[in-house]
Structure 1
């Protein structure tokens, strides 16, 4: 058996291990909300003290992945044979969870992230790896223009400055005439706390990178319409409720309270035609 290897990641790329921790631990539960054998394989193949750095796992990233799967699956049902581009994909294993859906997948991430990804997931005829930052517009030249494309970003844009998010979304809208965008957003208060504290301390041993971009929910639709410069539909999607324990009741009740959604993370789906 191959010995687990240290990932050797720091800063934003290291956050892929945080989300892997959530998905793999949830997938290993008998009552887990996600089935993700590949995530478990990767989790067990890394020499890394997940609990020391990130603490006891919670299902937040697994719930987010479940929601992204739902959105991407609906897109591919509507447009069979379309393209899916995952920005900052890291060790996300969506291609395995949606393996039965015919499409072409593109992973765009920093070279060091692609290097660790390729220890466990190799590119092939349907899955292309592009070792570039999402902010390097050169990746756009690698994506076919003759079919619709879904461009997804999980756990990425909060690490960008607002101007970088604005410019990137505007350029995507300009370059891809038939495009669906899906990305997650943290509320402004989380971003502000992160910036003031120099990152959020998850444990005594790990502090997240700062998260410069967060926005209150009620502002986002108008902002996006001005940023993309095209007509389109914008949907704001709530995370699924926590699957168990006291958090389940709280996560079901919170969205029903006036103003509570402004304090919660959410997922954005933008349809440009």
Structure 2
């Protein structure tokens, strides 16, 4: 089973996350309000259930956490620039636009082509069709008012050296920057390398970079000493047994390393 949108491999995951976010946004008790996501989801003739299976709210929880952090940053950086690595069909600009923030969406050409169909670029929300691994995007960022770099559901698809190169370049280039990204634990990375069959129609792409939550701060600082004020929080589904058990995981160090996590790191000025 394949998409008729010209997507495969990692770019196809943008429909997986769209499926989960839109399904959550349609709920009366959803953790994410996202009418643009729902519009796009309903506009694409695609068998989401057949490909990805029943939705869960994990990606919606992740987006809501990123929104909250971005709004905090934006309040102290009026007119700053948000760089969204691996933007896909994420609608964070539409959810968080305050009329002044400037946005730069970066993704591979086939992803940007699809994004343009449903979310046309604008003067304050520009698109760059390139890999996040291409350092040329750094030259496109006006950092005078501060920079917030967002990478949702991206770094796990790279290897550790590639993630290190991206993070190091970001902190070396920008004096006032905050980087936010999510991680998967090593046990889940190994699972994807063996073959994570979401359904009989869909096998998730390999995710080589897995890291324990407890190791994120020391790893970032070892990569670049300007990565300071590092905080890491676990996250999970929006509801159900796993969501209810997450506070229990927080109380025990060994268990904290089991769920996926979200990291934030600010530069030293």
TM-score where L is the length of structure 2: 0.95
Q: CA deviation at 1:29?
A: 0.8
Using the alignment, how far apart are the partners of 2:21 and 2:181 within structure 1?
18
Aligned partner of 1:112 among 110, 113, 120: 110
Q: Is the 8 A contact 1:90 1:109 kept in 2?
A: yes
Report Cα offsets for 1:120-166 as digits up to 9, x if no partner.
11111110001110000111111003221000000000000100000
2:248 aligned residue: 253
Which structure 2 segments of 5+ residues have no match? none
- 2:127 equivalent in structure 1: 129
Equivalent-residue separation in structure 2 for 1:154 and 1:224 (angstroms): 17
- SS of the residue 1:10 aligns to: coil
Q: Does the 8 Å contact 2:153/2:182 carry over to 1? A: yes
User: Which residue number in structure 2 is paired with residue 157 of structure 1?
Assistant: 155
Secondary structure of 1:105 counterpart: strand
After TM superposition, the structure 1 = structure 2 runs for residues 36-51 of structure 1, keeping only pairs within 5 Å, are 36-51=34-49
Residues 1-273 of structure 1 aligned to structure 2 (within 5 Å): 6-100=4-98, 102-195=100-193, 197=194, 199-230=195-226, 232-239=228-235, 242-272=237-267, 273=269
SS of corresponding position for 1:263: coil
- State the Cα deviation string for residues 97-131 of structure 1 (Å, max 9, x = none): 11235210000000000000001111111100011
Q: Is the 8 A contact 1:238 1:267 kept in 2?
A: yes
- Alignment partners' CA distance in 2, 1:190 and 1:98: 31
Q: Quote how far apart the aligned CAs of 1:242 are.
A: 4.1
CA offsets 1:78-105 (integer angstroms, 9 cap, x no match): 1111110000010000011112352100
CA RMSD, Structure 1 to Structure 2 (Å): 1.5
Which residues of structure 1 form unaligned runs of 5+?
Answer: none
Q: How far did residue 247 of structure 1 move?
A: 3.5
Q: Secondary structure at the match of 2:97?
A: coil
* Inter-partner Cα distance in structure 2 for 1:77 and 1:55: 38
The alpha-carbon distance between structure 1 residues 237 and 120, as it changes in their structure 2 partners (threshold 3 A), is same
Distance 2:187 2:201 in 1: 23
Distance in 2, Cα, partners of 1:170 & 1:178: 14
Task: State the distance in 1 between where 2:177 and 2:23 align.
Answer: 33
The structure-2 alpha-carbon separation of the partners of 1:247 and 1:189, relative to structure 1 and needing over 3 Å to count, comes to closer
Aligned residue pairs, count: 266
